[in-house]
Amino acid sequence: MKNPSSLDFLTEALRRLPGVGPKSAQRIAYHLMQHDREGAALMSRALSEAVERVKHCALCNTFTENEICETCLDTERDATQLCVVETPGDQLMIEQTLTFKGLYFVLMGRLSPLDGIGPKDLHLDKLIARATDGVVTEVVLATNFTNEGEATAHYISETLKTRGLKVSRLARGVPVGGELEYVDAGTIARAMLDRRST
Amino acid sequence: MKNPSSLDFLTEALRRLPGVGPKSAQRIAYHLMQHDREGAALMSRALSEAVERVKHCALCNTFTENEICETCLDTERDATQLCVVETPGDQLMIEQTLTFKGLYFVLMGRLSPLDGIGPKDLHLDKLIARATDGVVTEVVLATNFTNEGEATAHYISETLKTRGLKVSRLARGVPVGGELEYVDAGTIARAMLDRRST
């Protein structure tokens, strides 16, 4: 007894999803075939459409279906400020805060020597060209506050400062609503060092 | 700033995967577009092929690309024995033990009144027709030993026994390699009640 070959092919293909092993892939395949063929057909269409249409913005490197993304084309935005983020998801989060009106550069990753991701994989040459176009005056580094995100921010900061640009980093400190008892010591130490006069 | 529409469509479609919420769907979509477009294209093909080709065996209800599945067509098998399982995955597990040479009936689920799954959804009429074809003499119930699996076995057993068929159930007891100290009391109680002379 064995599965029909198209089901085996589907199981094998589903293993390309991040974090899905052989058992989960088989369970997902059975689920789709038994309970949600409509969903499976929808996913098939969505995947092929996205593969065909989605590309990277020539200016900020985010996902777009056009040569230049909507954000970069928006003339209402302050082109002197450039915010560097790791992913489009991070960009969305910052946009939701309504605190930044400049433009973005999306790295689509972070420096990670262990995974073999170096400056070239992050298109840092594209970022440097963008930052030194004569319009940008300040680069705001908004990579994650993980070890890799910090290292990435440090690397970019060093590279851009030698070119005479103003480079800043999102503030670190106690989260809004945070109770000191439950915040880790490293965060409190940083908040103490960076304390501000009121 | 917003995602290109084909990326939003993909994120929405990926939410049809079992256990995937909006955040995970977006992360998967970004991952596929950034790191594995080949995998995305492969999955698209596999999904549409499976939707098109996979159907249910007319005899045993399992997945197949033909009218009758390979197992049911196999004349080497003992057609007097019929093993009832919940899923094709369960069938694969039993096949691997090489302890059963009969045929199967795959319920593709279990009775679950809370989820609105009743006897009709499990094609129990198909099972009864198959079991009472005059060839089958014993039905082995191999549904899971969960509450729902046990209830399903009980229901099928009652239905088939009134038709004069021999119905059996996989033995319950201490797993091979099991240490009594770490086995739950219910299992030990069952193993004690079902103890066998040596």
B21-67 pLDDT per residue, tens: 999 999 999 999 988 999 999 999 999 999 999 999 999 999 999 99
pLDDT (tens digit per residue) in B102-145: 999 999 989 988 888 888 888 888 899 889 888 999 999 999 99
Scanning every residue of chain B, which has its alpha carbon at the shortest distance from the alpha carbon of A68?
B4
Letter string b/e over residues B40-59, b meaning 16 or more CB atoms within 10 A of that residue's CB: bbbbbbbbbbbbebbebbeb
Radius of gyration of chain B from Cα atoms? 22
Radius of gyration of chain A from Cα atoms? 22
- Do B58 and B68 touch, CB atoms closer than 8 A? yes
Q: Which of A26, A52, A71 sits opposite B89 (nearest CB)?
A: A26
pTM over 0.80: no
Closest CA to A69 of A56, A81, A82, A78: A56
B112 vs B106: CA distance, rounded Å? 16
Contact residues, chain B, for A30 at CB < 8 Å: 63, 87-89
Q: Within 10 A of B143 (CB to CB), how many other CB atoms are there? A: 25
Task: Provide CB contacts within 8 A for A153, sequence distance 6+.
Answer: A84, A141, A143, A169
Q: What is the pLDDT of residue B4?
A: 77
Nearest chain A Cα distance for residue B158, angstroms: 26
Closest CA to A81 of A96, A68, A94: A94
Q: What is the ipTM of this complex?
A: 0.77
Scanning every residue of chain B, which has its alpha carbon at the shortest distance from the alpha carbon of A43?
B13
Nearest chain A Cα distance for residue B162, angstroms: 30
A123 vs B77: CA distance, rounded Å? 61
Residue whose tokens read 């450039």: A82
Nearest chain A Cα distance for residue B190, angstroms: 29
Give me the residues paired with residue A112 across strands. Answer: A117
A182 vs A115: CA distance, rounded Å? 32
A127 vs B112: CA distance, rounded Å? 56
Q: Which residues of chain A have pLDDT under 70?
A: 1-2
Nearest chain A Cα distance for residue B29, angstroms: 9
% residues pLDDT > 90 (chain B): 57
> Is any Cβ of chain A less than 8 angstroms from the Cβ of B37?
yes
> Is any Cβ of chain A less than 8 angstroms from the Cβ of B73?
no
> Is any Cβ of chain B less than 8 angstroms from the Cβ of A161?
no
Taking phi first (over 0 means left), then psi (-120 to 50 degrees means alpha), and beta for anything else, what does residue B189 get?
alpha
> Is any Cβ of chain A less than 8 angstroms from the Cβ of B112?
no
Q: What is the pLDDT of residue A1?
A: 57
pLDDT band, very low/low/confident/very high, at B1 (cuts 50, 70, 90): low
* Segment B77-97 mean pLDDT: 91
> Is any Cβ of chain B less than 8 angstroms from the Cβ of A5?
yes
Whether residue A43 and residue B13 make contact (CB cut-off 8 A), yes or no, is yes
Whether residue A47 and residue B40 make contact (CB cut-off 8 A), yes or no, is yes
